[in-house]
Amino acid sequence: MTDGITAYGSMNEHIAAAAIKAGRAPESVTLVAVTKTHGPELIRPLLEAGHRVFGENRVQEAQGKWPELRKAFPGIELHLIGPLQSNKAREAVALFDVIESVDRDKIAAALAAEMKRQQKSPKLYVQVNTGLEPQKAGVPPSEVGVFLKRIRHEHGLELEGLMCIPPAEDQPAQHFALLARLARENGLAVISMGMSGDYEEAIAHGATHIRVGSALFGARS
């Protein structure tokens, strides 16, 4: 797995360079290593190198590999970056430290109930559908402020950040700028945006969390 470690090393250098170029501290950007579809044999080398922040897009898949890795490597921070169904809220609250895909009242209600029941408070981000794509999850940009207020009042949930996945066919810059502006307007410190192909641009626009899979682990089959 020398390859994975080499990619990880150069990724950290690229992140630091992009941050400095944007006048930001390299530590202000967190790399969420996206391990969906990959097994522990690809994940372990990163854990052994000291990396602790990972992302998965499916609850069930994450349940199959992370409990064991957590036992072996203390301090893991696991992010759910894929859509969440309310009937999976129990498992999601039990397994994840950060849930990036809150986008509906029903999900917020289910999460609030589970967080109370389990006495566990994963950090929560709102997914924003910056491209208003009908097939994509996320709150429309114009409704983010109202959504945040409503789930604060109705469920007592404080959300920490915003997340987006720009349309594949668009230049990502306009979407990154929009998400950063929405975070600023709503007083949110966390901005999760940027993937393998565009993380440097996301950092230039203020991303605090970038979600990178294939640039670290190779193409997914």
Ligand X SMILES: *Cc1c(COP(=O)(O)O)cnc(C)c1O
- Binding to ligand X (CB under 6 A) within 160-189 occurs at 165
Among the listed ranges 9-17, 21-29, 102-110, 207-215, the one in contact with ligand X (CB under 6 A) is 207-215
By CB under 6 A, residue 46 contacts ligand X: no
Rounded least distance, CB 46 to ligand X, Å: 14
Quick one: tokens of 15? 């992140």
* Structural contact between residues 191 and 155, judged by C-beta atoms closer than 8 angstroms: no
Show the site string, 113-142: x = touches ligand X by CB under 6 A, - = not: ------------------------------
Which member of 195, 202, 204, 207 binds ligand X (CB under 6 A)?
195
Closer CB to ligand X, residue 71 or residue 219?
A: 219
* Structural contact between residues 196 and 148, judged by C-beta atoms closer than 8 angstroms: no
Q: Residues of 193-207 as b/e, b for ≥16 C-beta within 10 angstroms?
A: bbbbebbbbbbbbbb
Burial of 93 (0-12, 13-18, 19+ CB in 10 A): buried
Closer CB to ligand X, residue 11 or residue 89?
A: 11
Which member of 8, 33, 46, 57 binds ligand X (CB under 6 A)?
57
By CB under 6 A, residue 34 contacts ligand X: yes
By CB under 6 A, residue 196 contacts ligand X: yes
Which member of 122, 161, 172, 213 binds ligand X (CB under 6 A)?
213
The bridge status of strand 30-34 relative to strand 53-56 is: parallel
* Structural contact between residues 56 and 35, judged by C-beta atoms closer than 8 angstroms: yes
> Looking at the chain, how many residues does it have?
221
Quick one: tokens of 126? 């709102």
